[in-house]
Amino acid sequence: MSNAILVIGESGTGKSTSIRNLDNKETFIINVLGKTLPFKGANKTYSNVSQDWSEGNSYSSSDNTKVIKAIKYINNSRLDIKNLIIDDFIYLMSSEFMEKALIKGFDKFSEMAKNAWDIIRCVSSCRDDLFCVILTHSETTNEGKVKCKTLGKMLDDKINIEGMFTTVLHSLIVDGEYKFLTQNNGQFMAKSPMGMFDKKLIDNDLSFAKQRMTSYLDEDIL
């Protein structure tokens, strides 16, 4: 099973910025909306994939089928890639929702949940040396809990996205600094295995998160 992390948070809290310290020569970004990455030099370090997919490290699509094909290709054929980022997962769901907005009935929500499930399962079944990260937005429930954003209660009833990951980081701005919360504090639905991170708040740095996850999983059991 791949090393997969879910990162959730409001827009502007540093989710995409957390990519900045990953080695771009080993990183591939599925940029769902094709947005400009918010860190210095991003346009030069991340270029669109070539027609035969042998070169380049960025691909833009909001089509679930194409995204799954991209994940499988990177996993099977681009062995030079060690980091796979999906930015931003919520727009895969919202794009599908808008395409089906005029379709009556509730079956479309089941299909949307199935597509979301398929992408996460595809990521979680990637090779062991591929560090996979899904970035997505958060929302606040009526009870004041901050969780992964979906498109309504019907989808929540069908799929618990946080439950499909062992590690969920929540992006926050604390005292003007961008941070990741690593453990549930009663409000934010973050989580990580006991002892993986020394602190509940760490810098929003996916390179550091990868290093901690890798060393934790490779550590000898006494």
Domain-embedded: residue 76: yes
Query: In terms of residue numbers, what domain contains 92?
Result: 3-217
User: For the whole model, what pTM was predicted?
Assistant: 0.89
Q: What is the pLDDT along the chain (222 residues), one digit of tens a residue?
A: 458 999 999 999 999 999 999 999 999 999 998 888 888 888 888 989 898 988 889 999 989 899 999 999 999 999 999 999 999 888 888 777 667 666 776 777 778 778 888 999 999 999 999 999 999 999 898 888 898 888 766 667 777 888 889 999 999 999 999 999 999 988 998 999 999 998 999 999 999 999 999 888 876 554
Q: How many angstroms separate the CA atoms of 198 and 1, rounded?
A: 24
- Could you tell me which residues come within 8 angstroms of residue 31 by beta carbon, excluding any fewer than 6 positions away? 37, 58, 59, 60, 87
**Does some domain include residue 222?**
no
* Number of domains observed in the structure of the chain: 1
- What CATH number has the domain bearing residue 176? 3.40.50
